[in-house]
């Protein structure tokens, strides 16, 4: 396997302590965002101001790690300058790459900061090598993060037909994966992940303990009710339980977490360049726990891919921090296409 480029572990950071936890536990790269709607984890008290970013960059670079800045939401006509301003601030700070989704911003970054490395965000929703090669040709992107809708065979097909490095999600929360185009949160709360950077904004969420169980309401709409013994999930419409034809169930999708640890040898073999861990909204301890397990797994896979199998204690550690009742291989492993 030494002939292949090493697989990078890309870990989330919502705060400076989380960035340091990622670096200290073996992340090759950390991704983060500014404290506003220019990124898709725009939550109160989360993310980086210029001072925290400068300190984060100093910490990561001193240890030979990279920092990517996510500018993965879509500007509107009346706020365009906030996003281009964010591109300029990130370039000036010296981030190692920008993760962009919007065509206009990709163009702006390419023209104004031609030496800055650009990654196409999962929010850009490019699933074919034709689309990815177009982004390469027009904006010289060097990496694309694939939406979580492709099987591993389809990912291999993309990799075989592009020079762009391919990054995929390996672990963390899943949603309906209409990435960059989902309007469920906007429909219920008026706030969307795509333009406002927040799916199910906290101001619209209420939890209430009732005689029937814990109720979750999103802008007043009852979206789930948990019995005391049930694990809870994030308060998003896609993971709510609804009554359809007199049956109440997860009508859109069940709350589960992606965990592709067991596919690691195949992912390396087909030439995936980086594995991304979801969870910028989580605490530093989550980042530490998950990074540690994935670092150990990637190193074990690199040493002896033929005999790699996930250790039970790795899976237990990851299951402990997962959302919902179970974990899944997502679309990566499925017989149909």
Partner 1 sequence: MKLPTQLPNFTLPEFFARFGQRLPQLPPTLALITALNLALGRLLPREPLEPLLGKRLAIRVSDAGLTLRFAYGERGFRPSFGSVAADLTITARTRDFLALLAREEDADTLFFNRRLQMQGETELGLLVKNTLDAIELPHVTLNSLAPAQALQHLRRILSGARNSGA
Binding mask 37-76 for partner 1 (x = CB under 8 A): ------xxxx-----x------------------------
Subset of residues 227 to 286 that bind partner 1, contact rule: CB under 8 A: 228, 230-233, 281-286
Give the three-state DSSP class for 140. coil
CB atoms < 10 A from the CB of 103, how many? 13
Smallest separation, CB 131 to partner 1 (Å): 33
The Cα 257–Cα 235 span in angstroms is 14
Q: Which residues contact 179 (CB under 8 A, 6 or more apart)?
A: 122, 123, 125, 147, 148
Contact call for residue 202 and partner 1 (CB under 8 A) = yes
Q: For residue 68, what are the β-bridge partners?
A: 31, 97
CA atoms within 13 A on the CB side of 185: 26
Closer to partner 1 by CB, 15 or 192: give it. Answer: 15
Closer to partner 1 by CB, 43 or 80: give it. Answer: 43
Residue 31's H or E segment, with its range, is: strand 29-32
Closer to partner 1 by CB, 207 or 249: give it. Answer: 207
Contact call for residue 142 and partner 1 (CB under 8 A) = no
Smallest separation, CB 278 to partner 1 (Å): 12
Phi first, then psi, for residue 319 (nearest 5°) are: -60, -35
Subset of residues 160 to 199 that bind partner 1, contact rule: CB under 8 A: none
DSSP code of 124? G
Closer to partner 1 by CB, 195 or 214: give it. Answer: 214
Closer to partner 1 by CB, 250 or 333: give it. Answer: 250
Taking Cα atoms as reference points, which of 280, 263, 268 lies closest to residue 10?
280
Given 91, 151, 226, 333, the residue binding partner 1 (CB under 8 A) = 226
Closer to partner 1 by CB, 140 or 205: give it. Answer: 205
> DSSP per residue over 161-228, as a string?
T-SSEEEEEEEEE-----TTT--HHHHHHS--TTTTS-SS-GGGEEEEEETTEEEEEETTEEEEEE-T
Smallest separation, CB 233 to partner 1 (Å): 7
Segment interacting with partner 1, rule: CB under 8 A, options 99-107, 124-132, 237-245, 318-326: 318-326
Closer to partner 1 by CB, 32 or 132: give it. Answer: 32
Contact call for residue 303 and partner 1 (CB under 8 A) = no
Smallest separation, CB 289 to partner 1 (Å): 8
Give the three-state DSSP class for 243. strand
Give the three-state DSSP class for 145. strand
Site for partner 1, rule CB under 8 A: 14-18, 43-46, 52, 201-203, 205-209, 214, 226, 228, 230-233, 281-286, 289, 320-324
């Amino acid at each position: 396997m030494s002939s292949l480029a090493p697989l990078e572990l890309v870990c989330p950071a919502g705060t400076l302590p989380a960035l340091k936890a990622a670096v200290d536990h073996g992340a090759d790269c950390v991704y983060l965002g500014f404290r506003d709607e220019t990124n898709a984890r725009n939550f109160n008290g989360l993310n980086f101001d210029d001072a925290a970013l400068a300190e984060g960059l100093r910490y990561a670079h001193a240890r030979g790690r990279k920092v990517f800045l996510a500018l993965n939401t879509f500007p509107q006509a009346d706020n365009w300058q906030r996003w281009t301003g964010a591109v300029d601030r990130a370039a000036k700070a010296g981030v190692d790459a920008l993760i962009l989704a919007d065509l206009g911003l990709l163009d702006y970054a390419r023209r104004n900061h031609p030496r800055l490395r650009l990654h196409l965000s999962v929010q850009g929703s490019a699933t074919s090598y034709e689309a990815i090669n177009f982004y390469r040709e027009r904006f010289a992107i060097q990496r694309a993060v694939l939406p979580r809708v492709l099987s591993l065979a389809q990912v291999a097909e993309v990799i075989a037909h592009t020079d762009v490095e391919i990054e995929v999600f390996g672990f963390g929360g899943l949603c309906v994966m209409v990435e960059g185009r989902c309007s469920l949160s906007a429909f219920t709360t008026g706030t969307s992940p795509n333009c406002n950077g927040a799916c199910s904004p906290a101001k619209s969420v209420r939890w209430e303990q009732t005689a029937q169980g814990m109720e979750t309401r999103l802008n007043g709409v009852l979206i789930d009710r948990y019995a005391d013994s049930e694990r809870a999930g994030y308060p998003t419409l896609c993971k709510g339980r609804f009554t359809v034809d007199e049956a109440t169930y997860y009508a859109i999708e069940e709350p589960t977490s992606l965990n592709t640890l067991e596919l690691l040898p195949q992912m390396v073999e087909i030439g995936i360049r980086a594995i991304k861990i979801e969870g910028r909204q989580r605490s530093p301890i989550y980042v530490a726990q998950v990074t540690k397990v994935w670092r150990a797994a990637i190193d074990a896979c690199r040493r002896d891919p033929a005999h790699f199998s996930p250790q039970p204690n790795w899976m237990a550690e990851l299951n402990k921090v997962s959302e919902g009742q179970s974990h899944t291989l997502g679309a990566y492993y499925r017989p149909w296409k």
